[in-house]
Amino acid sequence: MVHYGHSNQLRQAKAMGDYLIAGVHTDAEISKHKGPPVFTQEERYKMVRAIKWVDEIVEGAPYVTTLETLDKHNCDFCVHGDDITLTVDGKDTYEEVKRAGRYRECRRTQGVSTTDLVGRMLLMTKAHHSNIDNPDYQQHTDNFGKGPKGHSPWTGVSQFLQTSQKIIQFASGKEPQPGDTIIYVAGAFDLFHIGHVDFLEMVYKQAERPYVIVGLHFDQEVNRYKGKNYPIMNIHERTLSVLACRYVSEVVIGAPYAVGKDLLDHFKVDLVCHGKTEVFPDKDESDPYAEPKRRGIFRAIDSGNNLTTDDIVQRIIENRLQFEARNQKKEAKEMAVIEAMKKRDQLDSNGPKHCT
């Protein structure tokens, strides 16, 4: 998957240098080393390109990063999170560049992982919004990411805690300038995916100088019109997901469902857009876009991409057994590395002491 945890790593990596190249693996490479990918390689290429800290991407990047790879793309060093990535036979994929001193590390985002998001989709209950204390969810995550010897700190599940600092780091901080066209769109933007990226790119292209504001509905509102256990991601997670997109200038956290006079006047909105997905009526059965339509500033946008969050969940459910096996294997490999590291540390501390 591509989620805000990845965006946060890319943000940190960009801050370490001047120009950021992101290498994206093929489906075949991921399937070989980790298990089936959720998004196709073409979808992932496009999604990573849309992350605002990325200057360039390398399609089909090798799973093991070598010095040859770095030199080929004129990179001084490479960056990875502080979790470990292993090949299918349990080797550290960054061993060579670490030895050469051309490796740097950024902090992993606590409380989000592909494992956790896949787990939420497979569980299909409302429990994930307070997942830590829920026994069903806990049992599920135990089954889902369990190696033979306890839990890996990298594959395990923890709760994401939003802070104002994190929002500031992700936000553009830019206010609309005279001559900008202020465009407003609203929705859940749950499990931020390529369908959302294509839609926002098309919205961005509606003006010469676009300033795109995304209104995000609160979790309860999303659940009212989407039902089931939606949203999969809570409002804090969806905020970061959308802010990481290069086509977005600002986010309204907990936007009103009806796009009314107050909102349009407050943000001086020039254009309101909506995609081809169904527009659910408001609680009183009224059209939430009645006011922008009355003003003649409403525009329906066809991005040419029909992918929905439902489709993503369906992909997960269809591959359920493969994903569960993937996570169990991944954690078993990580636990083996942790055990080896512990043994090495013990040997170092118990090794021969030389006196002079």
Average pLDDT over residues 230-254: 96
Same domain, 191 and 254: yes
Q: Supply 101's token pair.
A: 């001193």
Same domain assignment for residues 55 and 100: yes
Contact present, 74 and 55 (Cβ < 8 Å): no
Domain assignment present for residue 15? The answer is yes
Residues 226 and 182 in one domain: yes
Kindly state whether residue 314 falls inside one of the protein's structural domains: no
Domain that holds residue 235: 164-300
- For 18-66, the three-class secondary structure string (H helix, E strand, C coil) is CCCEEEECCHHHHHHHCCCCCCCHHHHHHHHHCECCCCEEEECCCCCCC
How do residues 36-59 score in pLDDT, each as one tens digit? 888 999 999 999 999 999 999 999
Residue 276 belongs to some domain of the structure: yes
Give residue 98's pLDDT band: very low, low, confident or very high (50, 70, 90). very high
Token look-up 């590390």 returns 105
> Would you give the end-to-end CA distance of the chain in angstroms?
56
Query: How far apart (Å, rounded) are the C-alpha atoms in residues 355 and 139?
Result: 53
Residue 145 has pLDDT above 80, yes or no: no
Residue 281 pLDDT class (50, 70, 90 cuts):
very high
Per-residue DSSP letters for 112-179? Answer: --HHHHHHHHHH-SGGGGGGGG-HHHHHHHHHHT-BTTB--TTTS-------HHHHHHHS--PPPPTT
- Residue 307 token pair: 């992918």
The domain total for the chain is 3
Residues 57 and 102 in one domain: yes
Q: Are residues 141 and 179 in the same domain?
A: no
Domain endpoint, select from 74, 90, 106: 106
211/329 same-domain check: no
Q: Tell me whether residue 317 is in a domain.
A: no
Residue 266 domain flag: yes
CATH number at residue 199: 3.40.50.620
58 with 155, same domain: the answer is no
Q: Is 153 a residue whose pLDDT tops 70?
A: no
Query: Does a structural domain hold residue 79?
Result: yes
- The token pair that represents 324 in the structure block: 């569960």
Of the chain, the percentage scoring pLDDT greater than 90 comes to: 62
Assess whether 98 and 123 both reside in one domain.
Answer: no
Same domain for 274 and 193: yes
Residues with Cβ within 8 Å of residue 52, at least 6 apart in sequence: 172, 244, 245, 246
Residue 137, amino acid = Y
- The single residue listed with the structure tokens 């390398």 is 58
**Average pLDDT score over the chain:** 85
pLDDT at 142 over 50: no
The answer to whether residues 125 and 237 belong to one domain is: no
Q: Please indicate, yes or no, if residue 311 is contained in any of the structural domains.
A: no
Same domain, 116 and 180: no
Least confident of 64-78, 128-142, 247-261, 331-345: 128-142
Q: Output the six-digit token pair for 346.
A: 């013990």
Q: Residues 70, 87: one domain?
A: yes
pTM of the model: 0.82
Alpha-carbon gap, residue 311 to 294, rounded angstroms: 33
Tell which residue, 258, 259, 257, has the closest CA to residue 222: 257
